[in-house]
Amino acid sequence: MSPTDNATPSQSRGRVLAAELRELEARLRQGGGAKRIQKQHDDGKLTARERIGLLIDPRTRFQEVGLLVAHDQYEGQAPAAGVVTGFGTVCGREVVVIANDATVKAGSWWPETITKMLRAQEIAMRCRVPIIYLVDSAGVNLPYQGGVFPGQYGASRLFYYNSIMRRYLKVPQIAAVMGPCIAGGAYLPALSDVILMVEGTSFMGLGGPNLVKGATGQTVDGETLGGAWTHNAISGVAHYRTPDDRACISKIRDLVKQLPREACALPITEPKPPARAEAELYDLLPNEHKQPYDVREVLACILDGGALDEFQADHAPEMICGHARIGGIPVGIIANARGMLKDPHGGAPKFGGIIYADSADKVAFFIDTLSRHGTPILFVQDVSGFMVGTQAEHSGIIRAGARFVEAMATATVPKLVLTINHASGAGYYAMAGQGFDPDFIFTWPTGRMGVMEGDSAAVALFSGQLDALKKEGKKPDAELQAKIDAVRADYDQQLDARYAAARGFVDAVILPDETRATLSLALRTALNNPGPHLGAFVLPANV
């Protein structure tokens, strides 16, 4: 049963999906559950989320990245893949945080743990913001080592990114060992700028006491082998020793406070509230996702003062381009209009959500201008693809679409994506799909990401059989209808925003009434890097 089936006049599709998301997120934030949280406390340690709560500035937003990753895998035994990743503000400075959740399999690394950690490192590299590691991990989850240890994007990539940040990008890295840090994982703090350790609870070593005994015959306790005193006083590997978790977090905040910061060149103003309340966003999208709505009313709930200075408003109206502000920060808006739209040339009406040759050229020109001016871009996705057919091909849609894609791919300014409904076909790619490395990609619970809708897939797969039956004046039998229904159901599952989030195709599923807070934090984070935002990182010219 789809959320549309559950929706009532007082409970829209957006509200139903939001309630389901809140329930799922609350369960995932419990990590390994109450018993393991209590064990963490009994061991004298805070949980990963408690540590982050103390680290981030009071009453400010911490935007978690990848909370839903792997939630529908491993029989539910890997909530958030055993690691909390995200970005927020520490002492007024935007930072990225990676914190192992020791309540989930002792903080061990699943394959998706590596994916999340690499994504967090990429955010720090692309945005040039400090990254803080709160280490509390037993190392590789051995039954799944084949997805963790080897490969170009296996665990070793973490240390490659460590090294690039340290040597070339000058991204500050602070590592706090607040529990076990064993084997190759020890290189994560070792390749950071600063290492802190907590007395009595932290251990760092290439091998633990049991491995040492098996390999060398030595019998030694953990504190002597690799505790806080050992690595601060004897080996000199660590730099600070703190009595407990709270003191460690306090010291990290002091270190962040000392970091230098460059001023932003953009003319940032005092934020203004939107023209309409964000809570109205739940009801602005129709219960049936294919139905039209006014995207300008959506933007009025997101933009400062609801103000959009539209670019070429009378030309190619299916694509909306304009200048606005979010949280006082200048941003270029590129959004898809929906519904049937009048063609300014006097031709047949245009389909909203579809990209035509003239709209592709309009957007490409706008993106190039924004990139030259240094203005960040927000892509508001509700796109079903590029136009097809004889007229579209004769208009040069392929060449125009390529210009759109190239302008987007090569724009050097921060690019943010917000999917509010459809994200389909090559239109998804052109609107800064994940493969083009946007700085951040968010979706509402109503987002639907896939190559096409289930109905279209069923037509593509079974059109030959259906056409033959139609000529004979017959209808599909039960077996064929079951296959068609199965394809539709499979596509509906894969189009769900939670499915995309579970596989890391988006950074987060956000609630509509949290959109402004999320986007303004993401913009402030991205603007730490005045240089080009291309790929995971761009090496300095003198390297």
Please, what's the b/e burial string for 164-190 (b: 16 or more CB within 10 A of its CB; e: otherwise)? bbeeebebbbbbbbbbbbbbebbbbbe
Q: List beta partners, residue 174.
A: 132, 194
Indicate the burial class of 276 (C-beta count within 10 angstroms; 0-12, 13-18, 19 or more): middle
Quote the tokens at residue 72: 């529908």
Helix (H, G, I), strand (E, B) or coil at 170: coil
Domains and CATH numbers, the chain: 13-258 (3.90.226.10), 278-444+510-527 (3.90.226.10)
The pLDDT of residue 294 is: 96
CB 299 within 8 A of CB 333: yes
Quote the tokens at residue 396: 């040069």
CB 167 within 8 A of CB 125: no
The residue among 45, 53, 3 whose CA lies nearest residue 29 is 53
| DSSP per-residue letters across 450-517 | ESS-HHHHHHHHHHHHHHHHHHTT----HHHHHHHHHHHHHHHHHHBHHHHHHTTSSSEE--GGGHHH
Helix (H, G, I), strand (E, B) or coil at 277: coil
Lowest mean pLDDT among 267-281, 355-369, 408-422, 448-462: 448-462
Dist CA 282 CA 293 (whole Å):
13
Lowest mean pLDDT among 344-353, 364-373, 433-442: 344-353
- Strand 240-242 relative to strand 194-198, pairing: parallel
Q: Does position 3 have pLDDT exceeding 70, yes or no? A: no
Quote the tokens at residue 30: 């419990």
Q: Does position 262 have pLDDT exceeding 90, yes or no? A: no
pLDDT class of 356 with cuts at 50, 70, 90: very high
Q: Does position 4 have pLDDT exceeding 60, yes or no? A: no
Higher per-residue confidence, 102 vs 425: 102
The pLDDT mean for the chain works out to 94
Dist CA 522 CA 439 (whole Å):
8
- The region that residue 422 occupies, defined by phi over 0 for left and psi between -120 and 50 for alpha, beta otherwise, is beta
Quote the tokens at residue 460: 């593509």
pLDDT class of 457 with cuts at 50, 70, 90: confident
- 72-129 pLDDT per residue, tens: 999 999 999 999 999 999 999 999 999 999 999 999 999 999 999 999 999 999 999 9
The pLDDT of residue 458 is: 81
**Residues in Cβ contact with 524 at an 8 Å cutoff, skipping those fewer than 6 apart:** 94, 327, 329
Helix (H, G, I), strand (E, B) or coil at 175: strand
The pLDDT of residue 344 is: 82
The pLDDT of residue 2 is: 55
Alpha helices in 137-268, H assignment, sequence order: 156-164, 187-190, 209-216, 222-226, 228-229, 245-257
pLDDT class of 203 with cuts at 50, 70, 90: very high
Q: Does position 145 have pLDDT exceeding 70, yes or no? A: yes
Indicate the burial class of 223 (C-beta count within 10 angstroms; 0-12, 13-18, 19 or more): middle
Return the beta strands (E) in 215-372 as ranges: 240-242, 309-310, 319-326, 329-336, 340-341, 350-351, 354-355
The residue among 93, 155, 96 whose CA lies nearest residue 120 is 96
Quote the tokens at residue 314: 């009378």
Higher per-residue confidence, 375 vs 143: 375
Q: Does position 9 have pLDDT exceeding 80, yes or no? A: no
Residue with tokens 């369960």: 27
The pLDDT of residue 376 is: 98
**Residues in Cβ contact with 513 at an 8 Å cutoff, skipping those fewer than 6 apart:** 278, 279, 281, 282
- 473-524 pLDDT per residue, tens: 888 888 888 888 888 888 888 889 999 999 999 999 999 999 999 999 999 9
Q: List beta partners, residue 492.
A: none
Q: List beta partners, residue 177.
A: 135, 197
Helix (H, G, I), strand (E, B) or coil at 534: coil
Dist CA 344 CA 359 (whole Å):
12
The pLDDT of residue 491 is: 84
- 218-261 pLDDT per residue, tens: 999 989 999 999 999 999 999 999 999 999 999 999 999 999 98
Dist CA 311 CA 320 (whole Å):
8
Dist CA 325 CA 331 (whole Å):
5
Percent of the chain with pLDDT over 70: 98
Average pLDDT of the segment spanning 292-320? 97
The pLDDT of residue 5 is: 54
CB 232 within 8 A of CB 241: yes
- The region that residue 81 occupies, defined by phi over 0 for left and psi between -120 and 50 for alpha, beta otherwise, is left
Dist CA 395 CA 403 (whole Å):
14
The pLDDT of residue 254 is: 98
pLDDT class of 153 with cuts at 50, 70, 90: very high
Q: How many residues does the chain have?
A: 543
CB 231 within 8 A of CB 238: yes
Dist CA 121 CA 132 (whole Å):
10
The pLDDT of residue 136 is: 96
